[in-house]
Amino acid sequence: MALIDVIKYEGLPGEIVWKFPRNDISHFGQLVVNESQEAVFFKEGKALDTFGPGTHTLKTGNIPILEKLVNLPFGGQTPFTAEIVYVNKSIINMTWGTPTPIQIEDPKYHITLGLRAFGNYNIKVIDSKSFVNTVVGTQQRFNHDGVDRLLKPMIVTRLSDFISEVVLKNGVPITQISQHLEETSAAGKTKTQPDFQKYGLEIVDFFIQSINFDQNDPNFQKIQKVLTDKFEIETMGNMYQQKRMLDIGEAAAKNEGGSAGEGMSAGMGLGMGMNMANMMGNMMGQNQPGTKPAGEDAASRIAKLKSLLDGGLITQEEFDTKKKDILNSI
């Protein structure tokens, strides 16, 4: 077999790493490296040197270490065995996504949600020797799929870290993280950079394009209900308590039973709702100038308030606030 005196890239377009298939190289052979490429010269499994774009003559003057590793009798004209590995140095665009939802606890509501996200990132090989030694090894070629298998699990692992960082920094519920995609993307680049560097890679850009949640997740629905109730409270003010009690009264009227029973339940439920609404309306009214519930002293008002608490119609926080108001009015 004739010796190889011209070595050039013959891999497929877009290959990240391609190894020249033969290793019987003639001394003074020509190594051709294309733009945006780097060739790594290996001898006995050791990366001796790298060559950038251009045509290079393989001789001891170009590779000083070669003289120590290669026996060159007969005036240095004999062939030698070595490996040439081409590395793509251009920017490589990759996509990523979460194969399954990532469980993240909302720092505000302390509810765990399943989060899905996807985006893209740009990387570049900055240390060809390190990349080939730590990632490629003895493989003949290495493409996007190989990089994807290597990096995607790492990105997904780091995802919860940088999303939580942005959520805590801004004090926002996890369901509003989509409003902070730019900050989250920047945090993602910072968090993943050290992992890329150990493989001889640089992450040029990192983007999160979308973050979403399973709408049928019971925990997600709980948070949505909290946000809905909060909106109603802020919008309706004191009227919200009366609406809440009327809703409870109507719900009580929907008990199972015959038509007569349903009629009685409806009447009782509606009456109960009206009475509770009036009770809360009276207690609300004591904050208004010049008004005070007639014929009720502080103890009876607090007792009524306690009955609402025991019935689960108001929260402990609401009870404490109203109790304080009643006592301050004495």
pLDDT score, position 70: 54
Closest CA to 230 of 308, 275, 175, 301: 175
Q: How far apart are CA 157 and CA 150, in angstroms?
A: 12
Note the pTM of the prediction, 2 decimals: 0.62
What does the pLDDT read at residue 80?
66
How many whole angstroms separate alpha carbon 156 and alpha carbon 188?
10
pLDDT of 38 = 95
For 236, phi then psi, to 5°, come to: -95, -20
Predicted confidence at residue 126, as pLDDT, reads 95
Q: What is the pLDDT of residue 249?
A: 57
- Alpha-carbon dihedral 31, 32, 36, 38, rounded to 10 degrees: -10
- Residue 48: CB atoms within 10 A of its CB come to 17
Successive 10-residue mean pLDDT values, the chain, 330 residues: 76 89 75 93 82 83 57 51 89 92 81 89 94 86 88 89 82 82 92 92 94 83 74 59 59 53 44 49 48 56 76 77 78
Handedness of CA 165, 170, 172, 175 (dihedral sign): negative
pLDDT at 246: 59
